[in-house]
Amino acid sequence: MEGAHKAAVLAVAQVGEEDGVHGETACGRLNAVRRRLLASAGMDGSVVLYDCFNGKHVQTLRHHNKFVVRVAFDASGRYLASAGYDRRINIYLREEEEDPKDLAVSYELVHTIETASNPEAILFVQSGEVTDSQNNAVQLDLRDWLVYTIRGDCFLHYVALPTHRQVESSNEERVIADWEELRYNTNPSRDDYHVSYSLLDLALHPSGMYLSAQTGDHAFSSSLSQSGITSSFAASPTSLSRLLLMPVHSDVRAATLWTAAPYSPYVSPRHAWMPSGRGACVNGEDGSVRLVDLQGKVRAVIYAHGQPASSAGDGLRSSVEWSRGGRGNTIVKDVVALDECTIASCGFDRTVRVCTLAS
C-alpha cells in the first residue's frame, strides 16, 4: 500500500491523494468508545482519522510541522492528543453528541504544550488524588489528566484537563487549574535530578493504580555481546531497558522491572500489559518478545522476528540474522497482549506474528 497512513488499517486500501495524505505511519490508536474510529500519526506531520468499518477518511488534523510519533484517545473518546518532533503536544476535543456512533463531529484543537525536547510518550489517566511536595496525599475532585514524557528528562508530566462541569472543591487549600502541569521525578530519590535515562514508553497497569514507564538509557553497554548473541548490532551500543512502576500522581517507585530486552538507538522500547496485570510483554532488537512478571523475572522469550515464517521454530540462530529492510531484520516494532495466552507483535521483517503462550 502506497501513501501515508494506509499501513495503519489494512482495510484502508483505496485512500487517494485527494485526501491530502502523505508520508508513512508512525503510530495508530483506536477510540475506546467509538471503536470504529482510528487515529493515525503520520511522518508528514498530520494526524488522520479513519472509519475502520468502511475504510473511509474522516478527518485530517494538520497542526505539526514535523513528524508525529504518538497519538492517544482518552477513555471517553472525547479527547485526542498527538505528540510530534516539532516539540509540541496538541490536545483536541470533540464536543458531545447525542449519538455516540456518529462520526460526523470533528475534533478541534483546544490546547498546545511546547516541550523542551522531543516528546516520546503520551497517555490519558483519571485520578482524584495527587501528592504534594512532601509526598502527602491530597484528595481532589476526580478529573482526567494527560501524562507525557520527553527525551533527556526523567519526569512524568501530568497536565490537568478541563472538568467540563461545575464542581465544589473538597480541598480549600489546593485547586487544580485547567491545563495546570504537575511533575513527578522517577529517580529513586526525589532530590536526585541526574538524568541517566529517558522515558520512552508509557502504559497504564490494568489495575488503574500504576503507570509503567519504559526507559531508554543514555549510558550504553554491549549487552548483546555479553549475552553471547552474534548479530550486526553486537558491535553497536545497546542497553537493557527497564519498566518503572509508578503509582499514579506519585514520585515513589513501586517497582523496577528489568526486562533483559536489548535496545540500541535504532529501536523504540514498547511494552503492553497482560489483561490480568501479572506481567508485561516487551519488544527488543534481537527478534524476540519477552514476558516479564511483576518481580522482574523473564517468564518467556519468544523468537518471533527476523526469520521466515517457515523457519519460525529454528530458534535463536535464525532470529538474530540481520539484513536491512527484509525478513532477516530482527527489530520488533511493537507488541500487544490480545488475552492472557496470546501475544501479537509486528517487526521490521515486514511480518505480524501471533504467538500463543503455554498455560
d(CA 42, CA 27): 7
Q: What is the pTM assigned to this prediction? A: 0.82
Q: Is 219-258+266-359 assigned to CATH 2.70.210.12?
A: no
Q: Over the range 100-110, which residues count as b (16 or more CB within 10 Å of their CB) and which as e?
A: eeebeeebeee
pLDDT at 269 over 60: yes
pLDDT at 118 over 90: yes
Q: Compute how many other C-beta atoms are within 10 angstroms of the C-beta atom of residue 183.
A: 10
Hey, which bits of 161-311 come out as E strands? 181-185, 197-204, 210-217, 239-247, 255-263, 271-273, 279-282, 288-293, 298-303
**Quick one: which of 252, 245, 186, 160 has its CA closest to 210?**
245
Q: Tell me the pLDDT tens digit for each residue of 175-190.
A: 788 999 999 999 998 8
Q: Tell me the pLDDT tens digit for each residue of 16-34.
A: 434 545 456 668 888 887 8
- Report pLDDT for 101: 64
pLDDT at 37 over 60: yes
Q: Which residue has the higher pLDDT, 320 or 84?
A: 84
- Report pLDDT for 163: 78
Least confident of 4-8, 106-110, 116-120, 173-177: 4-8
**Domain spans of the chain?**
219-258+266-359
Least confident of 37-51, 161-175, 304-318, 331-345: 304-318
DSSP symbols for 31-49: -SSSTTEEEEEETTS-EEE
pLDDT band at 240 (very low <50, low <70, confident <90, very high): confident
